[in-house]
């Protein structure tokens, strides 16, 4: 009980299957995961192993067939966690998912806007985060005016805007060249260490995975620790 | 500003150098519908307004009529003057006559004016283009401009006036000669029908021509400023007019005509509203395409904590904003078109060499326009409601999209 209450995230026995013709295809089979503040975990696995499905369940974007999910000790129902997710979770995607009509600064501010009012303090934080990811000169630029690496750094800043307890990064270097990907991972790990934010990093890259405090592998729907 | 309004504005008018083509087309569609509605309702309103102006300025707001003739008009005028809201009153006699000049006949209506009281009720002097009301006496007339042109007469020329009394007298073997009168003025009201068929004389002249003695056909009443014509007519009727007499506002007198005019206006408004509805379908279609194109962004919004209601509000706001901007541009276009309407119509008439036909068929020398604030408000509200509704279907589609499905579509 005390372990769960100290945990940023706890998943217990998460299972998920999808209909495939007449059969049901089990993607996740009883996944357990416990994560504390400042801890970083990498999850590797082959394509189709269920990494994205697991991330969607952990992010409360989808409901498991079985199992329970807790954020900061509170049980989460995927159908009713939208507002909580805004404050608890930061998401980083392989394809950046920046809103093309918004400037870098407005993209960073978007989670705060959705969560409530944008005040001067929020603007200062957004500018500060952009400076921290090395893009203070590019705050007024649109995503189309930024390189892939710069876009992902904007996405990292956006994920941290609401000071979340947990960051979920789904193959954040998948669309970047090796050098840029390396710099993004370095930045991401530095930031989560600075802010004591928990991180789940889904990656194919063993070198990137090795830089997290715990490494896990997802295979045939089962999460293997260590 | 709520995030969904902020994002809606940014999606409609993105920063940077990109021309918001979708927004421009959508706004233009709504704007054209609004502009057309403003122009048509103003022009239709203008016809009614001009007719009212002409009636009121040439006959006063209220007429008192009897079943037959009004014998003692002087005492009736005194009674009428005591009714609150009456500014002035004047007796009149009128009827159709035949006039001849230069061997050409015409059959205008002739109106007899009481020179002592007419100026307080009828603003005829403002319509006299040539000559003056002061020259009018029992042996002279004012002739409407088009009628003078068709008869080939001008100031100083003589007209022969034949009244129906001539035929009546012939039955009793009396010879009643036509009355010779001088033309002392030309009147131009601006309405083709009135300008081609009116002769104004003194009350005494018309009474003589019709054998009325001292009787008159009715009393024209001018209301004080701020007193409505219906209100004044009700007061006059309540004041105890002699038996057989009744006061009618100009709207009572032209009730059927005004009803037809309003029906026409309403029907045209209804039909033209479909332009806005068609524009709204185009907005809906564009927004639906936007929902499909921005599937991942919509998914992202949900993942960042936006509620389905917020996502829906973003698309409703886009529909509404297109409506707001379209209405603004449409109002500007509509009023600009109204400002140049006469130049445009005359240019078309000149190019097609149809200036005379235009004047003959449309009655007025200028294309009238009168914009009623209530009509503008109706156009604005209906356009905004329709535009908002246009955003509902895309909003519903966007709100139903679950983030996890949106990301799977990658």
pLDDT tens digits for range A187-208: 888 888 888 889 999 988 888 8
What does the mean pLDDT of chain B come to? 86
What's the burial of A92, exposed, middle or buried (CB within 10 Å: 0-12/13-18/19+)?
buried
In total, how many domains does chain B have? 2
Yes or no, beta carbons of B304 and A110 under 8 Å apart: yes
Q: What SS3 class is residue A102?
A: coil
Whether B127 contacts B188, CB under 8 Å: yes
Chain A (135-194) residues lying within 8 Å, Cβ to Cβ, of chain B: 142, 144-145
Q: Does B156 touch chain A (CB under 8 A)?
A: no
Contacts of A59 in chain B (CB under 8 A): 303
How many other CB atoms are there within 10 angstroms of residue B296's CB atom?
18
Is residue B149 domain-resident?
A: yes
Q: Closest Cα partner for A27 from A38, A12, A16, A36?
A: A16
The two structure tokens encoding residue B37: 């509605």
Residue B227 predicted with pLDDT over 80: yes
Yes or no, beta carbons of A61 and B303 under 8 Å apart: yes
Yes or no, beta carbons of A86 and B3 under 8 Å apart: no
In angstroms, rounded to a whole number, what is the distance separating the alpha carbons of residues B331 and A112?
37
Whether B296 contacts B404, CB under 8 Å: no
Nearest CA in chain B to A107: B7
- Going from the C-alpha of B241 to that of each of A120, B183, B237, B305, the distances in angstroms are 76, 37, 6, 77
In angstroms, rounded to a whole number, what is the distance separating the alpha carbons of residues B297 and B29?
27
- Going from the C-alpha of A186 to that of each of A82, B360, B405, the distances in angstroms are 30, 85, 31
Closest partner residue to A101 (CB to CB) among B14, B300, B304 is B14
| pLDDT tier at B17, thresholds 50, 70, 90 | low
In angstroms, rounded to a whole number, what is the distance separating the alpha carbons of residues A93 and A177?
15
Computed over its alpha carbons, how large is the radius of gyration of chain A? 17
Q: Which residue range(s) make up the domain with B139?
A: 62-227
> Is the same domain home to B123 and B213?
yes
* DSSP secondary structure string for all residues of A134-166: T-GGGTT--GGGS-HHHHHHHHHHHHHTT--SE
| pLDDT tier at B19, thresholds 50, 70, 90 | low
Closest partner residue to B305 (CB to CB) among A85, A99, A101 is A85
In angstroms, rounded to a whole number, what is the distance separating the alpha carbons of residues B207 and B215?
7
In angstroms, rounded to a whole number, what is the distance separating the alpha carbons of residues B179 and B137?
13
> Is the same domain home to B86 and B16?
no
> Is the same domain home to B47 and B66?
no
**Spatial CB neighbours of A116, under 8 Å, sequence gap ≥ 6:** none
Q: Does B9 touch chain A (CB under 8 A)?
A: no
Q: What percent of chain B has pLDDT over 70?
A: 95
Whether A51 contacts A5, CB under 8 Å: no
Yes or no, beta carbons of B10 and A142 under 8 Å apart: no
**Spatial CB neighbours of B211, under 8 Å, sequence gap ≥ 6:** B165, B168
> Is the same domain home to B45 and B173?
no
Yes or no, beta carbons of B404 and A61 under 8 Å apart: yes
Mean pLDDT of B25-43: 90
What's the burial of A159, exposed, middle or buried (CB within 10 Å: 0-12/13-18/19+)?
buried
Which segment of A109-118, A130-139, B28-37, B50-59 scores lowest on mean pLDDT? B50-59
Chain A (34-93) residues lying within 8 Å, Cβ to Cβ, of chain B: 52, 56, 59, 61-62, 82-87, 91, 93
Closest partner residue to A86 (CB to CB) among B304, B402, B410 is B304
In angstroms, rounded to a whole number, what is the distance separating the alpha carbons of residues B301 and A115?
11
Mean pLDDT of A67-89: 85
In angstroms, rounded to a whole number, what is the distance separating the alpha carbons of residues A195 and A161?
11
CATH fold label, A37-61+83-225: Rossmann fold (3.40.50)
Half-sphere exposure of B72 (CA within 13 A, CB side): 8
Contacts of B300 in chain A (CB under 8 A): 93, 97, 99
Residue B201 predicted with pLDDT over 90: yes
pLDDT tens digits, B313-371: 998 999 999 999 999 999 999 999 999 988 888 888 788 877 776 666 665 667 788 88
How many other CB atoms are there within 10 angstroms of residue A68's CB atom?
13
Contacts of B305 in chain A (CB under 8 A): 82-87, 111, 114-115
Whether A215 contacts A33, CB under 8 Å: no
The two structure tokens encoding residue A213: 């405090």
Q: Does B404 touch chain A (CB under 8 A)?
A: yes
Token pair 């009394």 is found at B165
Nearest CA in chain B to A99: B297
Residue B30 predicted with pLDDT over 50: yes
Q: Does B16 touch chain A (CB under 8 A)?
A: yes
Contacts of B7 in chain A (CB under 8 A): 99, 101-102
Closest partner residue to B16 (CB to CB) among A85, A87, A142 is A142
The two structure tokens encoding residue A189: 């790990």
Q: Give the pLDDT of residue A61.
A: 87
Contacts of B407 in chain A (CB under 8 A): 52, 56, 61, 93
In angstroms, rounded to a whole number, what is the distance separating the alpha carbons of residues A189 and A199?
8
Our CA-based measurement puts residue B232 at a distance from the nearest CA of chain A, in whole angstroms, of 59
Kind of pairing, strands A198-202 and A166-170?
Answer: parallel
Is residue B86 domain-resident?
A: yes
Chain A interface test: which of B303, B318, B398 (most A C-beta within 10 Å): B303
Is residue B145 domain-resident?
A: yes
> Is the same domain home to B399 and B278?
yes
What does the mean pLDDT of chain A come to? 86
Which segment of B120-129, B251-260, B298-307 scores lowest on mean pLDDT? B251-260
Is residue B20 domain-resident?
A: yes
Is residue B238 domain-resident?
A: no
Yes or no, beta carbons of B304 and A144 under 8 Å apart: no
- Going from the C-alpha of B268 to that of each of B40, B265, B338, B372, the distances in angstroms are 8, 5, 17, 16
Q: Give the pLDDT of residue A1.
A: 44
Q: Does B304 touch chain A (CB under 8 A)?
A: yes
> Is the same domain home to B395 and B332?
yes
> Is the same domain home to B307 and B358?
yes
Closest partner residue to B303 (CB to CB) among A59, A142, A145 is A59
Q: Give the pLDDT of residue A84.
A: 85
Kind of pairing, strands A89-92 and A166-170?
Answer: parallel
Is residue B180 domain-resident?
A: yes
In angstroms, rounded to a whole number, what is the distance separating the alpha carbons of residues B256 and B276?
31
Mean pLDDT of A22-42: 87
Chain B (274-303) residues lying within 8 Å, Cβ to Cβ, of chain A: 296-297, 300-303
Is residue B336 domain-resident?
A: yes
Q: Give the pLDDT of residue B410.
A: 59
Our CA-based measurement puts residue B406 at a distance from the nearest CA of chain A, in whole angstroms, of 11
User: Dihedral of CA B42/B43/B48/B50: which sign?
Assistant: positive
Our CA-based measurement puts residue A187 at a distance from the nearest CA of chain B, in whole angstroms, of 21
In eight-state DSSP terms, residue B134 is G
Computed over its alpha carbons, how large is the radius of gyration of chain B? 31
Q: Give the pLDDT of residue B365.
A: 64
Q: Give A198 or A133, the one with higher predicted confidence.
A: A198
Mean pLDDT of A24-48: 87
> Is the same domain home to B100 and B33?
no
Q: Give B397 or B173, the one with higher predicted confidence.
A: B397
Our CA-based measurement puts residue A46 at a distance from the nearest CA of chain B, in whole angstroms, of 17
Query: Going along B188-294, which residue ranges are E strands?
Result: 198-202, 216-223, 245-249
Whether B135 contacts B233, CB under 8 Å: no
**Dihedral in degrees, nearest 10, Cα atoms B304, B306, B307, B308:** -100
> Is the same domain home to B106 and B130?
yes
> Is the same domain home to B30 and B78?
no
Token pair 């007449």 is found at A22
Closest partner residue to A83 (CB to CB) among B6, B11, B305 is B305
Residue B289 predicted with pLDDT over 50: yes
Angle (CA) A103-A107-A113 rounded to 5° is 120
């Amino acid at each position: 009980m005390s372990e769960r209450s100290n945990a940023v995230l706890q998943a217990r026995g998460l299972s998920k299957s999808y209909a495939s013709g007449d059969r049901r295809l089990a993607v996740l089979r009883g996944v357990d995961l416990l994560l504390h503040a400042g801890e970083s975990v990498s999850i590797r696995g082959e394509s189709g192993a269920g990494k994205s499905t697991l991330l969607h369940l952990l992010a409360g974007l989808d409901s498991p067939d079985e199992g329970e999910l807790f954020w900061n000790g509170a049980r989460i129902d995927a159908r009713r966690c939208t507002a909580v997710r805004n404050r608890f979770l930061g998401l980083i995607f392989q394809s950046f998912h920046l809103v093309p009509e918004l400037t870098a600064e407005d993209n960073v501010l978007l989670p705060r806007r959705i969560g409530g009012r944008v005040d001067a303090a929020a603007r200062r934080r957004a500018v500060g985060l952009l400076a921290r990811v090395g893009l203070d000169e590019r705050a007024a630029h649109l995503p189309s005016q930024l390189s892939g690496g710069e876009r992902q750094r904007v996405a990292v800043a956006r994920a941290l805007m609401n000071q979340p307890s947990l960051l979920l990064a789904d193959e954040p270097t998948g669309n970047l060249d090796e050098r840029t990907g390396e710099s993004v991972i370095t930045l991401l790990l530095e930031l989560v260490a600075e802010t004591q934010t928990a991180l789940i990093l889904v990656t194919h890259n063993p070198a990137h995975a090795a830089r997290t405090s715990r490494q896990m592998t997802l295979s045939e729907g089962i999460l293997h620790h260590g | 500003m709520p995030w969904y309004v902020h994002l809606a504005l940014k999606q409609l008018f993105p920063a940077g150098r990109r021309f918001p083509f979708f927004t421009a087309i959508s706004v233009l569609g709504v704007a054209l519908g609004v502009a057309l509605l403003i122009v048509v309702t103003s022009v239709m309103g203008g016809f009614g307004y001009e007719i009212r102006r002409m009636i009121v300025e040439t006959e006063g707001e209220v007429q008192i009529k009897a079943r037959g003739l009004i014998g003692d008009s002087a005492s009736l005028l005194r009674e009428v003057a005591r009714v609150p809201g009456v500014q002035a009153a004047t007796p009149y006699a009128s009827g159709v006559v035949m006039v001849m000049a230069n061997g050409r006949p015409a059959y205008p209506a002739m109106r007899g004016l009481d020179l002592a009281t007419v100026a307080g009720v009828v603003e005829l002097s403002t319509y006299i283009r040539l000559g003056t009301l002061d020259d009018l006496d029992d042996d002279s007339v004012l002739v409407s401009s088009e009628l003078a042109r068709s008869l080939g007469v001008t100031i100083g020329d003589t007209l022969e006036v034949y009244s129906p009394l001539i035929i009546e007298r012939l039955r009793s073997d009396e010879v009643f000669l036509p009355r010779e009168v001088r033309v002392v003025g030309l009147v131009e009201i601006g309405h083709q029908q009135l300008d081609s068929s009116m002769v104004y004389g003194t009350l005494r002249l018309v009474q003589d021509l019709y054998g009325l003695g001292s009787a008159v056909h009715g009393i024209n009443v001018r209301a004080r400023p701020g007193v409505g014509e219906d209100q004044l007519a009700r007061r006059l009727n309540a004041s105890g007019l002699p038996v057989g007499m009744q006061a009618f506002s100009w709207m009572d007198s032209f009730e059927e005509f005004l009803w037809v005019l309003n029906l026409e206006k309403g029907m045209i408004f209804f039909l033209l509203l479909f332009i806005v509805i068609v524009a709204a379908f185009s907005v809906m279609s564009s927004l639906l395409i936007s929902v499909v194109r921005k599937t991942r962004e919509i998914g992202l919004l949900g993942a960042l904590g936006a509620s389905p209601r917020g996502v829906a509000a973003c698309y409703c706001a886009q529909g509404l904003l297109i409506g707001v901007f379209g209405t603004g541009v449409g109002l500007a276009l509509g009023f600009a078109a109204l400002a140049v309407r006469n130049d445009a119509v005359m240019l078309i008439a000149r190019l097609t060499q149809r200036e005379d036909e235009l004047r003959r068929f449309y009655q007025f020398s200028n294309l009238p326009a009168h914009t009623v604030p209530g009509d503008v408000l109706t156009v604005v509200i209906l356009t905004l409601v329709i535009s908002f509704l246009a955003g509902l279907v895309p909003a519903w589609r966007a709100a139903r999209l679950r983030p996890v499905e949106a990301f799977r579509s990658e």
